Amino acid sequence: MALELSCTRAEADQKQLMRCRETLGTNSEAIVEISKVLALAGNETRLRILFLLNEEGELCPCDFADILEMSVPAISQHIRKMKDVGLITSRREGQILYYSLVQNHNEVLDNVFTKIQKNKKVA
Amino acid sequence: MALELSCTRAEADQKQLMRCRETLGTNSEAIVEISKVLALAGNETRLRILFLLNEEGELCPCDFADILEMSVPAISQHIRKMKDVGLITSRREGQILYYSLVQNHNEVLDNVFTKIQKNKKVA
DNA sequence: TAATTATTTAAGCAAATACTTAAATAATAT
DNA sequence: ATATTATTTAAGTATTTGCTTAAATAATTA
């Protein structure tokens, strides 16, 4: 709560600290938005879902349940979070909802996918 | 627990499901590793710390406490998590520990920083 | 219309997370 | 040695997360 300075060392560069605060202010919105995307992709199950969508184009919740050997509601709840943030969309075909990546926000995710593929086990 | 197939639709493409399982198997280690990095960067405070290190080169815990207006122990605990995974390192100068990014793993993070800067508020 | 299938939603709960305060290290200065 | 400063570590706690099971929607089929 108290807003005291925690560090009183001589070397503390006040100009640097000010510059840092300003940098954070300028980039604040981007940081908030991108941290949301990273937090979503930072879950193994969701990263697998995103990676598969990148590979396959579109899949339905029950595909994921089969592939990942998880319950359908568990999958559905992960999907909802990603849809809420706009990472993925759906298209209905009868009873089936096909999900796919939204190509919009995703320079960051594209790079993640590339990195995953590059690090894949060749053995 | 039960390992039944959740989806019995006619259109279910068994070859596709097998291919997906195989893809995940091949990329499993990369996915596990990268999801750890993303989970760390997916916290606003830690993303700010990483972003500042990228901008400034090195900073100490009390700098972060000042800049982010957070307690020193809170900062220290975030730092530890990132150090444990090898995202950052430290260099001691007297009582002060200077932290900096490990340039190793970080194609993903580099892209995140670029993306943040690109989306910064110009107003 | 009723039964079936695909999916979502809701409620409940155990585990993980991010802070807090207090105590422990580590290095420096008196 | 003692005190001060920078940092970490530990213990406690409220919140969030990721599942579970059960119930609710939505579309299809009999």
Would you list the domain boundaries of chain A? 31-118
User: With a 7 Å cutoff on the CB, does B60 touch strand D?
Assistant: yes
Question: Tell me, what's the pLDDT at B97?
Answer: 98
Give the H or E element holding residue A96. strand A96-101
The rounded percent of chain A whose pLDDT value lies above 70 is: 87
Confidence of residue B44 (pLDDT cuts 50, 70, 90): very high
Give the H or E element holding residue B99. strand B96-101
Question: Tell me, what's the pLDDT at B9?
Answer: 65
CA–C1' A9–D16 (A): 36
- Least CB-CB distance to A69: which of B3, B9, B28? B3
pLDDT tens, position by position, A8-64: 666 668 999 999 999 999 999 999 999 999 999 999 999 999 999 999 999 999 999
Q: How far apart are CA A88 and CA A79, in angstroms?
A: 8
Which residues in chain B touch residue A51, judged by CB atoms under 8 angstroms apart?
Answer: 23-24, 27, 31
Question: Tell me, what's the pLDDT at A91?
Answer: 98
Question: Tell me, what's the pLDDT at A27?
Answer: 97
CA–C1' A13–D12 (A): 35
Q: How far apart are CA A20 and CA B67, in angstroms?
A: 7
CA–C1' A43–C14 (A): 18
Q: What is the DSSP letter of B87?
A: S
State the CATH class of domain A31-118. mainly alpha
Which CATH number is correct for B16-118, 3.40.50.300, 1.10.3720.10, 1.10.10.10, 3.30.413.10?
A: 1.10.10.10
User: With a 7 Å cutoff on the CB, does A96 touch strand C?
Assistant: yes
Mean pLDDT of B15-33: 96
Judged against a pLDDT cut of 90, whether residue B23 lies above it is answered with yes
Q: Is the CB of residue A50 less than 8 Å from the CB of residue A82?
A: yes
Judged against a pLDDT cut of 60, whether residue B3 lies above it is answered with no
Give the residue ranges of DSSP H helices in B1-123: 14-26, 28-41, 44-56, 61-68, 72-84, 107-118
Confidence of residue B120 (pLDDT cuts 50, 70, 90): confident
Distance from CA of B80 to the nearest CA of A (A): 18
Confidence of residue A6 (pLDDT cuts 50, 70, 90): low
Question: Tell me, what's the pLDDT at A26?
Answer: 96
Mean pLDDT of B51-77: 97
Question: Tell me, what's the pLDDT at B62?
Answer: 96
Question: Which of B35, B59, B85 is best to mutate for the A interface (most A CBs within 10 A)?
Answer: B35
Judged against a pLDDT cut of 70, whether residue A5 lies above it is answered with no
